[in-house]
A = this chain, B = another copy of it.
Amino acid sequence: MVNILHRVGIKSSSLNDAHKALTTREGLSAWWTNDTQGEGEVVGRVLKFRFGAGGIDMKVLELDPAKRVLWQVVDGPEEWIGTKVNFDLKQEGDWTIILFKHQGWKEPVEFMHHCSTKWAVVLLSLKSLLETGKGAPAPNDIKLDSWE
């Protein structure tokens, strides 16, 4: 099993604001994809992220306000099914830190390389949303290659 890891700091934000951006439909649609459906504020419910051609469904596995959000992929690209997406939050001085892990990839395939960079792109959008009020969710995200 291999994992995608990231860490972003958000200046002058709060743990609550970060948690809200990771759990509410309004928040999620302002940094990941405009087309976000479902419910992220209740354990057991499913969030539906759509991107033109395809989509990803995530079941909410754990919620620890201002501390942790854990999802499991229940539908989407074959390589993603069953993997988990984890956000750990903490405050360090003036910075809200998000430690990110997309865990449980079977193999480090080329698509995993792509997804690693793409997660950085969307986490930078989340950082921008929380720092400036404006993210760059799909379809206005940076396109990395012909796979998008």
Contact = CB atoms under 8 A, between A and B. Distances in A.
Interface residues of A, number: 32
A108 B108 CA distance: 15
A75 B146 CA distance: 36
Contacts of A124: 117, 120-121, 142
Q: How many copies does the complex hold?
A: 2
A140 to B, nearest CB: 15
Contacts of A112: 5
A98 to B, nearest CB: 9
A99 B113 CA distance: 7
A121 B117 CA distance: 9
B146 A95 contact: yes
Interface stretch (A6-14, A26-34, A59-67, A77-85): A6-14
Given A120-B116, A121-B120, A121-B124, A97 B145 contact: yes
A43 interface: no
Contacts of A4: 5, 116
A42 to B, nearest CB: 28
Interface in A108-141: 108, 110, 112-114, 116-117, 120-121, 123-124, 127
Given A93-B146, A95-B146, A145-B97, A117 B3 contact: no
